[in-house]
Structures are given as C-alpha cells and as structure tokens.
Amino acid sequence: MVEIKSDAALDAMREAGRVVADALAAVQDAAAVGVSLLELDEVAHGVLRAAGATSPFLGYRPSFAPVPFPAVICASVNDAVVHGIPGGYRLRDGDLVSIDCGALLDGWAGDSAVSFTVGAARPEDAALIDTTRRALEAGIAAAVVGNRIGDIAHAIGKVARAGRYGLLEGFGGHGIGRSMHEDPHVPNEGRPGRGYPLRPGLVLALEPMLTAGGRGDYRTDPDGWTLRTTDGSRAAHIEHTVAITEDGPRVLTLR
C-alpha cells in the first residue's frame, strides 16, 4: 500500500534525513587509508546514538537474507555494488567506496547513500561517480506532480546508458516513511508515462547503482548480502530520500 504523507510528516522525515546526512558526512570524513569498514560503522552508529535515532539496517532481515544485517551502514568497496557488510577490511589508496545509511527518528525513516574514493582517484572512478550523481539528479528532477514512476526510472536509466554503464536488473529505489522500505518500487530504468502517479506527499528513496561493466551482471557473496559485479568492474551507488510536493521535489537527506 502506498502512503501519502502530510506536511508535518515530511518535516519529521526531514529531521530523520538530517541525521542520515550527518552520519554519511562523518563516515566520509573518517574514511582514510588504513581505516577499517567496521570502524566506519562505529562512526555512523555514534552519530545516530547522539541524535537519539536508531538504525533500520541493524537487524533487518528480508526474505532473501540468510542472517539479519549486522551493522548500521552498508559498506561496499570497488566491485561490491550494494549491501556490503562492514568488517575488518582496511581501506587502501584508490578504493571506491559506497556507503548506505538509514535512520529512524520519532517514528520516521531516512535513507541515503554516497560514493567516494579514498586517496588518489582513478579518472574512470571519478567519471563513474559523477555519472551516478547526475543520474540521481535527473531522477530527482523528474519527481514532480503529474509524472509517474516510469518518468523517474527513464530519467535515471537514460543518463546511465548514455555513459555506457550497467544497471542491476530488478534493483532500484522504493517508497519510504514509517518504515525504510514501502511501496512503490522505483526501477532505475523504465518507460516514461508508466507506473504509479506522483502525488504530493509521496516520498521515495531514489538510488541509482551503476557498474563500470556495461552489462550490470552481479553475483551474491557467501555472506548472503553483498552484491558484487561478475566481471570485477567497479560500481557506485548514490541515494537521496525525496518528497513529491506541489512546489517540486524536496530532498529530505541533504546536510
């Protein structure tokens, strides 16, 4: 069921989104050569605790997962696309890192992700991250009253395909509100003019996931969570929580 949020609910979700933004900024500031992914998770957890928020990731167990997710961030490095479990891996110069984080505050959820490089960035990684950002921006620009979910999907996919990047089939964004994952699903590629109509008060987490390999094929690690490109190509993942309003899209996870 799709839930339409009131103006007061959007303001409350903005506060949850602000916590997520602060956590991601703190993680990115802490990310350096030699720092472990588990240490980055502890940084994010500290920001959530200080704000009185909890994590919708920690303990989350969808039907595909063999075990509950054990952390407050997803930390995906290089050829890992999404859902990476933070562990003892220590960051190296040139790593491409994607961090996904959520927060629950006063009963409302926020969800966002960033991609960045540690140390010296490869030009091809910088281009991949930039295209992923532009794909998200295109999706946000299409998130207006009168459009449909397909218009957002088409906008994201058009930017990705123009850059000859791959997209993970079946994965994309989602509704968000009282819980992290709500209806409707938002594909990262689709036909304009199709799907659920965009109405004021609809809130969506938009999250393009691009792979440098043009096919976008992936496999699941033995941990049952981490999705990794089958060809070893690198990936980027950037996400914002966005509200549809009469005045245009309102990004709820900006700093």
Per-residue pLDDT of 216-246, as tens digits, reads 899 999 999 999 999 999 999 999 999 999 9
**Adjacent-strand bridge partners of 174:** 185, 205
- Going from N- to C-terminal start, the domains of the chain cover 7-251
Residue 237 has, within 13 A of its CA and on its CB side, a CA count of 31
Q: Is the pLDDT of residue 215 over 90?
A: no
CA distances, 13 to each of 7, 60, 62, 74 (Å): 10, 20, 23, 21
Specify whether the CB–CB gap between 238 and 203 falls below 8 A: no
* CA separation for the pair 223, 206 (Å, rounded): 25
* CA separation for the pair 107, 109 (Å, rounded): 7
In degrees and rounded to multiples of 5, residue 99 shows phi and psi of: -120, 125
CA torsion through residues 56, 230, 125, 164, sign? negative
The predicted model gives 45-73 an average pLDDT of 97
pLDDT, tens digit (0-9, with 9 covering 90-100), for 69-100: 999 999 999 999 999 999 999 999 999 999 99
Structure-block tokens of residue 239: 């996400």
Fold for domain 7-251? Creatine Amidinohydrolase (3.90.230)
**Adjacent-strand bridge partners of 239:** 113
Q: How high does pLDDT run on average in the chain?
A: 97
The single-letter code of the amino acid at 151 is: D
Specify whether the CB–CB gap between 48 and 16 falls below 8 A: no
Q: Where are the alpha helices (DSSP H) in the chain?
A: 7-30, 37-50, 123-141, 149-162
* CA separation for the pair 228, 218 (Å, rounded): 5
Structure-block tokens of residue 116: 């960045």
pLDDT at 195: 97
Of 207, 240, 181, the C-alpha closest to 1 is 181
Specify whether the CB–CB gap between 188 and 157 falls below 8 A: yes
pLDDT at 216: 87
Specify whether the CB–CB gap between 23 and 103 falls below 8 A: yes
